[in-house]
Amino acid sequence: MVSRKDFSDWCAETLQTALFKDYAPNGLQVEGKAYIGKIATSVTASKAAIDFAVEQKADLLLVHHGMFWKNEPPTVTGWKKERIAALLRHDINMAAYHLPLDAHPELGNNAQLAEKLGFTVERRFGEQNLLNSGSLKQVRTLGALAAHIEAVLQRKPAVVGDLNREIRKVAWCSGGAQGFFQTVIDEGVDLYLTGEISEAQYHLANETGTAFISAGHHATERYGVRALGEAAAAAFGLEVCHFDENNPA
Give, as ranges, the residues between 170 and 199 that touch Zn ion (CB under 5 A): 175
Minimum distance of Zn ion from residue 219's CB (angstroms): 11
Select 136 or 177, whichever has its Cβ closest to Zn ion. 177
Decide: helix, strand or coil at residue 19. Answer: helix
List, in sequence order, the alpha helices (H) in the chain. Answer: 4-15, 47-55, 78-89, 99-103, 109-117, 142-153, 181-187, 199-208, 217-220, 222-236
Select 190 or 221, whichever has its Cβ closest to Zn ion. 221
Select 59 or 221, whichever has its Cβ closest to Zn ion. 221
How many angstroms separate the CA atoms of 35 and 129, rounded? 34
For the chain, first and last CA: distance in Å?
A: 36
Minimum distance of Zn ion from residue 108's CB (angstroms): 12
Minimum distance of Zn ion from residue 29's CB (angstroms): 15
108 binds Zn ion (CB under 5 A): no
121-125-130 Cα angle (round to 5)? 85
Quick note: the x/- pattern for Zn ion over 196-225, rule CB under 5 A, is: -------------------------x----
Nearest CA among 162, 153, 157, 198 for reference residue 180: 198
Task: State how beta strands 131-141 and 93-96 pair.
Answer: unpaired
Select 28 or 173, whichever has its Cβ closest to Zn ion. 173
Q: Is 64 annotated as ligand-binding?
A: yes
Q: Is 65 annotated as ligand-binding?
A: yes
**Binding annotation for a divalent metal cation:** 64-65, 102, 217, 221
Q: Which residues form the interface with Zn ion (CB under 5 A)?
A: 175, 221
